[in-house]
Structure 1
């Protein structure tokens, strides 16, 4: 039995592979510190859990419309207006089984064979794979570390061809943690308008910014850019709800209708109970979110200090999300390893610290470290990494 050609082109998720290896070592009795998977280590706030229980006990467990219940879409519309100064009607929003599903469905309805999608690197691992699955071509543009890994206008202009259909902007970014400013987004937006390029704005980490910088959605910069943009977001990172699988897309009515039609044949509706939980998430006060953000900020400060004290490791300080993307080029060069991938694999074997090699994100000189775990564990991990570097 032969697999399809499109599936054979996929690259397995490095984050999941690292996690699986770490789990295997743990089963063997090793004390493994896993800093690979990107999800908050906090439980979902109690008010959200209670809302899910109430929905179940009230019998709200049946099918819903494919684009999600109207109450949730109206709640998301209110959130977008209050937080992002964006006006959307409920029929311009589709609720999906996580933000990843929103992206997948969008590419499926947007791309034809060989349509090009510009993806700045470092990038989230699933962007290129989703574009490939939809029959498109991922055009990777390598950003520069000295520019905080952000795409600049000159790079964007050079990447555009007659086949360019869309661009993905992720701010705050996974894996870099960097945040685009209003001016930077305006410059990108002007170019996209000039060339009629669809903007896919992944804003899943919008609530997790630790500086005075404000999250800006490129869609809020002008009515023209709003019409050119599909906003992707959800509750996974902001409300510690990764397993609940609720995301959404907001954009022009014809795009959202096409996504809804596609989803109706693909997955039907998002989990009903989780939709009612998400309503509670968006209606709750943000005390729990702010507490989580404060803890992440403290972890960032401590881990950044510890890592940059290790000879051979440098790092641009991120502003958001919960990742560091240190450059380990010098540490690898001084060791007996030929690549960052080999260096990362040896770190896991010898010191039992699981990091994700930057090659998974289109950035082979780096490793991604998630600081979504306790300070004690992060300090122990930094100590092990330092010992590993000194021994090689």
Structure 2
């Protein structure tokens, strides 16, 4: 029997029989490399999961919540009242104006929050604009609704093969963006800080996107899960643009406790927006999973209070500046350029100067992939370092010949000693330059 979902033409659903998704492919390659070289550690800088625990005050909040009967039962579909209150306080401060708890929907992770947005607003035939490269979960989540994704590409920096670049060098093609908008367009998805680039959209870019959203009556879905990891003086966001105060009525901001507290397995996220918009998110969330884990919601509510008291997010930002300093030092030493991350915990490195042996043997699962997949496999198999091939974050038709074919994305959300050991392995690339 053919389902509606199965009939959608979506390369993320329809892989060839036996073809693995990116995460399975890379993790299995890492496992095989570990088995083949049992005395050599594997330094997994691939997926964005942390190598260390959440802060003690957050763990203590979990223990406290689990010990109380009321937090071990269903939470309200809209969310734990204490967490709603904590988020109200945090975002009223961050946005610079008061928000209310009925502008917030608690979701089972940010990914389910975005799925709830898509199912809350999209119907078959609608169109959604996504900038590429993109976080890969966006695409199937959108297309499951019957809507169509329209892609607008960041301009690949022309000098990236020879020197470091910044997020601002990855420019939005605004002419292409406006041409992509049709009478079927309903949403624009923006990810800032950006995965995999590390770009933080500047105020000028946000303003131009906001003006187009107002002009064409569109909703902006702003995925800001890395909002507490920005490395410049401030974090520009749609909801704080003083020159477009009306924009906050058409922006849905997505946040994540997992990214905020190094607890990706807790699966607590949220969506914040105008009451007239958020009610549709809550309605979809109620049907998708009804309720987010109650003790973890309570723990997150307490963690936010304690984080404010001990300046946790500022301390964490400073720690991440050190992590980037540790990890980028080896690429500076080798002369391998990267995009300086303005936010998040990923580093996009250009390895076009690295020469993989021409006679190197790749397994069948990698032979017909783009060059970045082969680079990733070679790094895993020969050096024990795991990264992610970033062409996975492009539509399949855009992958061949794209500059990302020579790049690898690394996650630096690891403890400092882990990063130092990984750089020792990466330093061995000097023999292949």
TM over 0.5: yes
Residue aligning to 2:273? 251
Residue aligning to 1:316? 339
1:9 deviates by 4.3
Q: Distance in 2 between matches of 1:314 and 1:381?
A: 17
Worse-superposed segment, 220-229 or 152-161:
152-161
Distance change in 2, residues 1:378/1:45 (3 Å): closer
Residue aligning to 2:22? 14
Segments of 5+ residues of structure 2 without an aligned counterpart are 14-19, 158-167, 361-369, 395-403
Residue aligning to 1:192? 213
1:27 deviates by 5.0
Which 4+ residue blocks in structure 1 deviate beyond 6 angstroms? none
Give the conservation status (yes or no) of the 8 Å contact 2:252–2:271: yes
Match of 1:283 among 273, 294, 305: 305
The CA deviation string for residues 27-49 of structure 1, in whole angstroms up to 9 with x for no partner, is 55242111001133332222222
- State the aligned residue count: 390
Match of 2:303, SS state, is helix
Give the conservation status (yes or no) of the 8 Å contact 1:341–1:357: yes
Q: Distance in 1 between matches of 2:291 and 2:356?
A: 50
Distance change in 2, residues 1:77/1:335 (3 Å): farther
Give the conservation status (yes or no) of the 8 Å contact 2:49–2:413: yes
Distance change in 2, residues 1:349/1:188 (3 Å): same
Alignment partner of 1:345 is 2:377: yes
Alignment partner of 1:202 is 2:223: yes
Give the conservation status (yes or no) of the 8 Å contact 1:40–1:237: no
Worse-superposed segment, 271-280 or 69-78:
69-78
Q: Distance in 1 between matches of 2:220 and 2:212?
A: 11
Give the conservation status (yes or no) of the 8 Å contact 1:153–1:191: no
Distance change in 2, residues 1:6/1:88 (3 Å): farther
Q: Distance in 2 between matches of 1:262 and 1:189?
A: 25
> How much is the aligned-residue C-alpha RMSD, in angstroms?
2.5
Match of 2:348 among 317, 325, 336: 325
Residue aligning to 1:104? 115
Give the conservation status (yes or no) of the 8 Å contact 1:116–1:138: yes
Give the conservation status (yes or no) of the 8 Å contact 1:6–1:133: no
Residue aligning to 1:300? 324
For normalisation by structure 2, the TM-score amounts to 0.83
1:150 deviates by 4.1
Residue aligning to 2:426? 385
1:315 deviates by 1.4
1:153 deviates by 2.6
1:62 deviates by 1.0
For normalisation by structure 1, the TM-score amounts to 0.91
